[in-house]
DNA sequence: CGAATGATCCGA
DNA sequence: CGGATCATTCGA
């Protein structure tokens, strides 16, 4: 798949982040070394995949919110549009949290660059209770069917 | 809009 | 312990 939508989450400085109130059993991977997975379970039925993106001891991760199928002729082009759908498509569960995403069966690699004119920066999606940081930490590819919400 | 559906976390 | 919450999705 080709990733087309992500959001950044920090730690103590980010009230919307799971890591806001410090490490717990669930959020431990967010405080671990970069390049690992942080998978969590929400709403009783969906999993979401993050890539830890800050050094050990500092919370920081990128939520993968949307992707386009690559070899997907005959596939639903929106099957990966949304964090829950994306994780489900790969068959992820919390058993896959804290895995090495640099060298493993599931890995992330560079893709051909996307023109900066097609990259949209916007406020993050789905935050309710927590006071949200006003920072637009959502990034997605304009016009891609893999984006969860335009 | 609201239900589905259960782990997680905080307060008591 | 108990209940409120939740980085979602789908269907009316």
Query: What's the average model confidence in pLDDT over A70-74?
Result: 76
Q: Identify whether the C-beta of residue A132 lies closer than 8 Å to the C-beta of residue A123.
A: yes
Residue of A5, A17, A1, A24 lying closest to A133 (CA atoms):
A17
DSSP string, A83-148: HHHHHHHHT--GGGTT-BSSSSSS-----SPPPGGGEEEEPPSS--SSPPPSS--EEEETT-TT-S
pLDDT at A131: 59
What's the mean per-residue pLDDT of chain A? 94
CA of A107 to C1' of C6 (A): 28
Q: Does residue A14 have a pLDDT over 60?
A: yes
Q: CB within 8 A of A70, min separation 6: which ones? A: A1, A2
Asked if A41 CB < 7 A from strand B, the reply is yes
Distances (CA, A) of A57 to A33, A66, A115: 8, 28, 34
% of chain A beyond a pLDDT of 90: 85
pTM for this entry: 0.95
pLDDT for A109-125, tens place per residue? 999 999 999 999 999 99
Closest nucleotide (CA of A45 to C1')? B5
Which pLDDT does position A81 carry in this prediction? Answer: 98
The answer to whether the CB of A37 falls within 8 A of the CB of A51 is yes
Q: Is the CB of A84 under 7 A from strand B?
A: no
pLDDT tens per residue across span A23-66? 999 999 999 999 999 999 999 999 999 999 999 999 999 999 99
Strand C within 7 A of A48 CB? yes
pLDDT at A132 over 80: no
The answer to whether A15 CB is within 7 Å of strand B is no
CA A11 – CA A98 distance, rounded (Å): 17
Nucleic acid strand B within 7 Å of A105 CB = no
Q: Which two tokens stand for residue A89?
A: 């498509």
- Give yes or no for CB of A7 within 7 Å of strand C: yes
């Amino acid at each position: 798949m080709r990733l087309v939508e992500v959001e950044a989450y920090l730690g103590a400085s980010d009230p919307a982040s799971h890591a806001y109130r410090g490490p717990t059993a669930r959020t431990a991977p967010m405080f671990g070394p970069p390049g690992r997975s942080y998978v969590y379970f929400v709403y009783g039925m969906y999993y979401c995949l993050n890539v830890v993106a800050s050094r050990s001891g500092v919370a920081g991760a990128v939520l993968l919110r949307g992707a386009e199928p690559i070899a997907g002729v005959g596939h639903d082009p929106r099957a990966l549009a949304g964090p829950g759908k994306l994780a489900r498509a790969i068959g992820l569960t919390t058993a896959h949290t804290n895995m090495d995403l640099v060298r493993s069966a599931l890995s992330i690699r560079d893709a051909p660059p996307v023109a900066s004119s097609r990259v949209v920066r916007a406020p993050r999606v789905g935050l309710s209770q927590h006071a949200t940081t006003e920072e637009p930490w959502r990034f997605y590819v304009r016009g891609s069917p893999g984006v969860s919400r335009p």
